[in-house]
Every structure is written in structure tokens, then in C-alpha cells.
Chain A
């Protein structure tokens, strides 16, 4: 909740009658935001699913079958490079829904839950558009047996700000940050997309500072939905910096520059991953940080074919190593024939 906005609004008499909630103040460094996970083998695999976009128009049977095929392929990819490993975590990075009803929302959440893999969510700009209340959405995200989502009632912008501590033998090896990149920046006539606000950055800094051992920050990754402006800057130098993936549409970050990148760069953040622009899965190294799009995880709305002719739809896997490096795999599952799979991979990032 946002205390300053509440009180600002509260000065108006109408609000005095109508405002109905109070907010709680929680320290930025509170461990309420943190959940622990453990390496189950030598590596820890994170599957990113993004822009699933179930809607009224979605054929649930075929969409669910496709999404399951993506998950199955992710498990194969994990085993391919380390026979003992599995998908340890699924990060769903926003726009899971767009204009749908609760039955459709339940369908996709129940499906992900049925995979029996811990998963977590970040909000996209479209997730609140549909025949449900934000309160219902929050409760639904928290409800799944394997869901790690637990929205903290705080004063910070956004809703899905949290940390996952990845430990090995009780020692913190990695931190995974989820940040709500919010939805729209209000404007006259035309909206821009929103950004990661300054108080979210302060929250991140507080969390990273608390977790560091001595002078060393714990290596970390961040997941959010809307790319930062640094994605655009990096793309202008793409010849030098590209790691993998392609870009087939204009990048759509906020017009407002977030301070998150600079804060994260100086705190040992190794990579940031977003969604939002369906036709892009381009990933690069920019000022020592990997900036990556995920791979759109379904056929709904629009997607693009790669230069080689396959659909840029599927998933991406980050494989964390205990010593602080990670590998990145983008895999593409053909929308018409899910046995037709392609892959791009980068190691030692």
C-alpha cells in the first residue's frame, strides 16, 4: 500500500468518507520479503515463462497442451546438460492473462500448479485487466500448493516485490529478485509504460545490503516484466554485446528512466530478465550485466518467427552455478508441432 498517496488523497473530504484501508509500514530490509530455496544438485535451474496471455479467445485445451509441452521440453533441456538436475523454479514474468474471466485464470494457474514445481510471479501490465478484482488475483496467486507468491502489505510501489534466497548447504549462493515494473505511466491522452520506481530501488538496495557477506554482495538475478531503458541503449551496440536471441519488434520500455540498473550493477547483479515485447528474445551483456528478454511462452496474441524460420515461442532457462556464474538456454517449441524444437545457449555468464 502507498501511505503517501493515501494521506494525500485523505485530505479531501470525500476521501475521508470513502477511503477504507490503512497501510502498514514494514522496514525495507524486512525478511518478510524473503523465501528460501536450495540447490538440489550442482546447479539450480530457473525456467522463465512470460507473456502467456490467456484470454477469452484462448482455446484452453490446446493452449494448456502447448504450455505443458514447453514445461516438458524445459525438463529435457535441464537433464541434457546435467543428468541429475531438474527445473527447480519457474518464474512467470507477467502478462499471464489479458481480458479473461476467473475460470480462465484458474485454468492457467491450476495447470502450472499441477506441475509440482515451485513457481513465482511478477505482474505484467495486463494481468489486472479482466473480470476479477486485484484482491482476487492476489489471493489466487498465493493459493497454489507450489506457489511461492506471498504479497507483502507494504508502502512500496507495485505488488510483486520479493526475494528468493538460493542456498547451498545453508550458505546463501544467489538471490533472485522479483520487481513489479508496474503497468502504465499516466499521461494526457496517451499512456507510456511504467517503470521500477525509486522506492522499489531503495527496497532492493536494502535487501541486497542486508544479504551481503562482509563487503561482498551476493550474486543475483532480477525478473520483471517491462524492460528498462538500458535494453534500448544496449541494442544500439548489439554487434558487440549480443549473447543470443533475436529482436523483431521495437523495444517498449517506459519513457521514464529507472535508477534500478545502476543500483543493481553496483550490487553484483549478474542478469536481468523481462518479457513484454513478444517478438524479442534478444539477450546481451551491457556494462557487465546480462540483459535478456524471455521467450514468449504461448501462441496467444502475436509472436514472430526467427530468421531461421522457427517460432520464437517456448521458454528460457537460467542455470545457476554455485560459484556465481550462470548459463542461459533459450528453447523454442514450434506452435504447430511441439516435437519441433530449437535451442540457443550461452554458458559461463
Chain B
């Protein structure tokens, strides 16, 4: 029980960091999306800010496989990947500082401690990766047993779930950052409520699927239907509000969806509405299958 609490606390912290990192990394990346002419400046920042996302997924998979023969191999592989990422990042940042691409270790733009903060992230990754690699070699099971163990993943469902989690992370990060940059005095600020709730709902669905889902088939089905209903109502409200005032997203939402405004696309309503609708439908279908199997 204690291990479970510690694990979930760590996962929770990683989720929040991954959400913040994914959104902010995307903001930084989008400043150079037009021609990637500053890739040498931008890529280390994005790698550093997005690395909690990798850590979250790796940690989650490790936890799920903690007491299986796959644990050793997963720890070893992720340790190597993390260590190499950290090493690459450290060298890249140092080179950029030496070559005056980053003027000092504390430029104070991008973040108050930039680029020291991303250097520290890479150092942490290198050390953590090295520790994971060493730890994997102290484990009893051999690497051969990992390599001979057939994969027991979620297949296509797992792939699409990972995509959904990424979208949920992005929206959660946007929501958290949005607390700072929301247009509170806008006359149409109220119209943003369904979008904000959809942003949170997606994280709620991740939380439910990964941490809470239990109980009878009937209970699960009720929850899935409730999620679907909530997503449908909020999506309908977004659509309705769009009819009431088509400008409300332009007025209030430009900072949340940089790609939309850079590429003159209108993806935001689809990104906010479709994933929770599809995911909750998938929850329902999964229950039906489980019922048939039962």
C-alpha cells in the first residue's frame, strides 16, 4: 500500500511536470516552426522541457512491469536512453554557451534560469539514467529473460491511449499556464468555460483509467456513460458558443493553441472535443467486450 502511494505521488508529480513541460516546450518550438532557422537554439530547450513526458511514460511502464521479468530490460533500456539523452543535452547546452548561442548560463529569457535550468534537467537525466542502468544490472533476472518474454502491451489500443494521454497532458499544461495568461477581463471570458472544463476532463479521464477504474461492470459502464455525457454536453456548449460568438476563441484562446494561429487553422475545437468523446466511447466499447468475455 505504501509503495502504491509513493508510486502514485511520483506519477502525479511527473504528470504535472510533463503537462507544463509539454505545453511550454510546444510554445517555444512554435516560435521557430516557420523555417526551423534557430533549431540549434530551440531543440535543446524542447528536448529538456519534453523530457518529463518521456519520464512519465517510462516510469508508468516500469511500474506496471515492476514485478515481471520485463522489469530488468525496461530499466536497462530506459536507463541507457535517459543517460544518452542527458549526455547529449549537457554537451549541446555547454557548446551553445561556449559558442555564444546562449550568451550566459543565466540569460533570463525562456525561463528565469535559462539555460541553467535545462542544463540541470539534462544533468539529472544523465545521473538518473546511469542509476537506472546500474540498478538494472543488480537485479536478479537476466536480460535474456526479458528479451525472451513476449510483449504483453495494449496493442493499437495502447497506441491510441498514449496519443490521448499526450493530448490530455497538453491541455492540462495549457490550463495551468492559462491561469497566468487567461484574458479574465474579456467580455467573452465566460464562453471559455466549456473549453477549460474539457481540458480538465481529459486529465480526469486519464486519472480514472489509470488509477481509479474498478468496481462492477455496471459501475464502470455508468462512469463511462457519465464521461461521454459530460464530454458531449461540453462539446455541444462549445459549438453553441461558437454560434453565439465565433470570435470568442480568437479573442481569448490565441495563447492556448499557437499552431492554430501560426498556420491559420481552426484545430482547437476538434482537439478539445473529439479526444474525450472518442476515449469515453472506447471505454464503453471496452466494457461491452469485457461483458461478452465474462
Contacts and interface: CB of A to CB of B under 8 A. Distances in A.
A183 to B, nearest CB: 6
B187 A184 contact: no
A5 B193 CA distance: 16
A6 B37 CA distance: 42
Contact of B265 (A15, A131, A189, A194): A189
Nearest to A125: B261
Contacts of B109: 56, 60, 100-101, 103-104, 107
Contacts of A3: 187
Interface in A88-108: 98-101, 103-104, 107
Interface string B246-283: 11111000110010111011100000000000000000
Contact of A57 (B24, B42, B180, B250): B42
A133 B38 contact: no
Contacts of A6: 187-188
A134 interface: yes
Nearest to B192: A18
Interface string A1-24: 111011011001011011111010
A302 B35 contact: yes
Interface in A142-189: 183-184, 186-189
A131 B254 CA distance: 10
B215 to A, nearest CB: 31
B38 A57 contact: yes
Given A57-B38, A100-B31, A191-B264, A133 B250 contact: no
B190 A56 contact: no
B266 A135 contact: no
A5 B28 contact: no
A9 B188 CA distance: 7
Contact of B191 (A9, A57, A186, A301): A9
Contacts of A21: 185-187, 189
Nearest to A56: B31
Contacts of A55: 31-32
Given A9-B190, A103-B108, A186-B247, A133 B180 contact: yes
Interface in A119-137: 125-126, 128-136
Contacts of A136: 181
A5 B245 contact: yes
Contacts of B110: 56, 101
B234 to A, nearest CB: 10
Contacts of A56: 27-28, 31-32, 42, 45, 109-110
Contact of A99 (B28, B180, B266): B28
Contact of B258 (A99, A103, A133, A189): A99
A83 interface: no
A132 B256 CA distance: 11
Given A19-B189, A126-B261, 14 more contacts: A5-B187, A19-B187, A20-B190, A56-B109, A57-B38, A98-B262, A99-B262, A104-B109, A130-B255, A133-B180, A133-B183, A188-B266, A190-B264, A190-B266
Give 3 closest A-B pairs by Cβ, nearest first: A18-B190, A57-B38, A99-B31
Interface of B: 24, 27-28, 30-32, 34-35, 37-38, 41-42, 45, 101, 103, 108-112, 177, 180-191, 193-194, 237, 240-242, 244-250, 254-255, 258, 260-262, 264-266
Interface of A: 1-3, 5-6, 8-9, 12, 14-15, 17-21, 23, 55-57, 59-61, 98-101, 103-104, 107, 125-126, 128-136, 183-184, 186-194, 301-302
7 contacts: A18-B193, A55-B32, A99-B31, A101-B110, A131-B181, A133-B183, A301-B35
